[in-house]
Amino acid sequence: MSDASLAFSSDQFSGLARVFPLPNLVMFPHVMQALHVYEPRYRAMIEEAVEGDRLIALGVLAPGWETHYDGRPTLRSTACLCRVATHQRTDQGTYNVLLLGVRRLRLVRELPPKKLFRVVESEIVEDLEPQGVSVEAAAALQQQLLAAFKHAMPKIPDAYEQLDQLLGNQITLGMLADIVSYTLDLDLDWKLRLLAEPNVLERTKLLLEAIATRPPASLARVFPPRFSVN
């Protein structure tokens, strides 16, 4: 699949999101996540997506989901719209997929259950770039975030080299905040707050607060992150 197939603009989204809910994974734009999909309802979701717009939303289940997992347990109101980058059907009929996060989503209203999977009317939430902030101030904040990130994961092999490669690509502050938010092992509630914050400056400040208030040992995890299974 070519890189062009991963390009996304908001007018490609119909407003109806196929939602793949997970209990403990918060997906962010600008990052990739691998999934092994084996439940029939989510296999049907992947099949419909790859035949159409290749879009699904990774959502988060609200507390108490355990007693209603086979039904329609409550979803958190913020999700991440993702594009199916690659997919492979196994001999068992399951799917290995790689998702690219493309936009924040606000889940508005769930549609009646006419399909195996859940579909929710949703609104794309675009990033709000900081107003009145100089280029120098934004660059300083980005360096502060990178320093905090490096301090939070000192024992992760090759992490510094990968961060330097990111810097070489001149990513934006919003992209960096999302990558760090996804990668660090923060509490679920922190991650949900970060996903729900469209203002890039406020999101970065919130992320720095999250890093500063957690013990460094609790922040380190494999970089890049491991696979997630449904």
| pLDDT at 181 > cutoff 90 | yes
pTM (predicted TM-score)? 0.86
List CB contacts of 173: < 8 A, sequence separation 6 or more.
130, 138, 141, 142, 145, 200, 201, 204
User: What pLDDT, on the 0 to 100 scale, is given for residue 156?
Assistant: 60
Half-sphere exposure of residue 36, counting CA atoms within 13 Å on the CB side? 6
Three-class SS string for 55-77? EEEEEEECCCHHHHCCCCCCECC
Q: How far apart are CA 174 and CA 60, in angstroms?
A: 21
Location of structure tokens 């949900």:
192
The predicted-structure confidence for 80-105, as pLDDT tens digits, reads as follows 999 999 999 999 999 999 999 999 99
User: What pLDDT, on the 0 to 100 scale, is given for residue 138?
Assistant: 82
Location of structure tokens 């500063």:
212
- 135 confidence band (pLDDT: 50, 70, 90): confident
Q: How far apart are CA 55 and CA 19, in angstroms?
A: 10
The predicted-structure confidence for 190-202, as pLDDT tens digits, reads as follows 999 999 999 999 9
What is the percent of the chain with per-residue pLDDT over 70, rounded to a whole number?
A: 80
| pLDDT at 157 > cutoff 70 | no
User: What is the CATH T-level fold of the domain 3-126, as seen in this structure?
Assistant: 2.30.130
- 52 confidence band (pLDDT: 50, 70, 90): very high
Q: What are the extents of the domains in the chain?
A: 3-126, 135-218
DSSP result, the chain: --GGGG---GGG--SEEEEEEESS----TT-EEEEEE-SHHHHHHHHHHHHTT-EEEEEEBPTTGGGGTTS-PPBPSEEEEEEEEEEEE-TTS-EEEEEEEEEEEEEEEEPPS-SSSEEEEEEEE--BPPSS--HHHHHHHHHHHHHHHHHH-TTSTTHHHHHHHHHHTT--HHHHHHHHHHHS---HHHHHHHHH--BHHHHHHHHHHHHHTS-GGGT---SSPPPEE-
